[in-house]
Each structure stands twice: as C-alpha cells, then as structure tokens.
Amino acid sequence: MMVRLACSTVHKSLGKTYSVPTSITKNHFEQNSENINKILNSFYRQILDQICRWYPEEYEMLGLLANNDKQGYIALSEEFPELSNHLQWYGLVNSNSIAIPSMLEEIRRHVKNEDKKKNLQNQKVKTADLSIEEKRARIGHLRNSCEDRMKKLIKRSLKMKYGSENWGKSLIDHQKSYDKLKLQGISADDILGKRLYLKDIKSIFDNEWSSFQGIQNARKEIAVQKSEFLQFIDQLDQHRIDAHAGDMDDVSFGILIMIGSKVVKLLDELLAD
C-alpha cells in the first residue's frame, strides 16, 4: 500500500498528458519526496498507534532503534527474539535498523508524545489525592522558585543588552503593576526585588524576547517556545493563593507542575556559571 501511494503521487506529478510508456527515474521520486512523506505520515501514525496499543514491547524496541539505542535493541532481541522477529515480519526493522527511512522522524515524534502522555498520567495519579491546601502549597513553592529565577535572568539579560546603568529603564517601560512615573528615581534592584510582579515579568519577557532566545534555543528536552513560556507565567499568576480560593482540577494542576519542573531546569541551566 505504501509503495502504491508513493507511485500514485509521482504519477500525478507528471500531469495529465505524457507518453505511455514513460520512464520514471530516481530523480522523479526525490522531487516528490516531500509530498510522498506527507501522505505516508498519516499512515505511519495509524501503524504506530496500533503497535503501541496491541504490542507495547515491540513498540518500546522500535523506539530504542529510532533514538539510536541500537545496543539496547540488540540486548532485548537476544533475550526476546520473538519480539524482534515480529517487527521484521511487519517490515519495520531490517538488520537492527528502521527499514523505512522516511518513517524514522514519525516514530521519534510518536514515542515522544506517548512519553508525555505517560508522564501526565503519572502526574495525575500522584496529585489525585492532594488536598486543596497541599495543591496551593505546591503551586506557591513553584511560583516562588520560578519568580526568583526569572528575575535573575531578567537582570542578567537586560544588563547585557542595555548596560549596567540603563537596564532598569526597561523594567519601568514594561511595568503593569505601578504608575511608571512613581517608579522614576527608584533603583533598578529595588524595582526588581519589590515592585515586579508576575504580570510585569510576563510583560518584560514578551517585549524583550530577543534578549531571552536561550529559552527556546536550549537543548530539546527543556526548550520552551515563547507562547508556552508566557502562558505558563499566566497560569502561575492566575492560580495564586490570593487570586483563586477554589480548588484546581487534577489535570490542570498536573500540567502546571510538569511544565513548571521543566521551566525550573531550563532557568537553572541558563543561570549556571
């Protein structure tokens, strides 16, 4: 089926009128490879969904190969040869490597998404029995941890951009909590420490994002895009103890804690000497 879909794409690219028979070269396929992969990717996802659901052990082995852990795959193959044989019968693995090269990225993406689902489910289980007070305490601790680190990163980044004498002006320019005129003459460190709240911090990151490119250019496991980072700050602000006295559902709470853990690791790496 995969071959027929690929050939059909090449056939359509030739137009309605061409001599029959006609010669198809490797170049024809290479020119259409992007369109072919787009069509096949949806079928790759269907295949991986089924393997993940019905054959979790084989799925795990496929993920090892896709993420270049060939030794791990070989070790499991030697211990459970029926699993590797199953993958070979499906035509997914050949000589300890992924048999369909264009499927490699989709396998990696699928495995990553499944890992996220598992982590979220595990987080949900861990937080399901927490009381309102315990949730508030966890969010409060996360908020304080992130806020302190964000302020340090703001100071470091803005000083690099505007200099040690002028970086405080940006704190005032993007201020949301105070009348900007009343902040004139107050030291930058005083504003940063006592007059900068989460909505101000969000405003600074939003308007000065070019100074914080390390957030989205960090290593893949912890990198955060601008929209996700700003949304996370919003969530911290909206779920302050003094802002929301009510309970927070377990799913939202789990997501906030999970993203927060990643943000703390990210900020720690950026602030490390």
Rounded (10°) CA dihedral 92, 97, 103, 104 = 150
pLDDT score for 242 = 53
Cβ 76 vs Cβ 121: under 8 Å: no
In-domain check, residue 18: no
In-domain check, residue 133: yes
**What's the gap between Cα 155 and its chain centre?**
26
Number of domains in the chain: 2
Indicate the residue among 125, 148, 165 that finishes a domain: 125
Structural domain that includes position 171: 129-271
For residues 133 and 261, membership in a common domain is answered with yes
Residue with structure tokens 């300890």? 96
pLDDT score for 199 = 93
The span from the CA of 273 to the CA of 98, in Å, is 40
Three-state secondary structure call for residue 235: helix
pLDDT score for 95 = 83
For residues 35 and 116, membership in a common domain is answered with yes
pLDDT score for 137 = 81
For residues 133 and 234, membership in a common domain is answered with yes
pLDDT score for 273 = 76
In-domain check, residue 258: yes
For residues 259 and 141, membership in a common domain is answered with yes
**Angle formed at CA 22 by CA 19 and CA 26, multiple of 5 degrees:** 145
Q: One digit per residue, pLDDT tens: the chain, 273 residues?
A: 888 998 899 988 888 777 888 888 899 888 998 889 888 988 898 899 999 888 888 999 999 999 888 888 998 888 888 889 999 998 999 988 999 888 999 999 899 888 877 776 666 555 556 777 777 788 888 898 899 999 999 999 999 999 999 999 999 999 998 888 888 889 999 999 988 999 999 999 999 999 999 999 988 888 899 999 999 999 888 876 555 545 567 777 877 888 888 899 999 999 987
For residues 147 and 246, membership in a common domain is answered with yes
CB atoms within 10 A of CB 166: 12
pLDDT score for 124 = 58
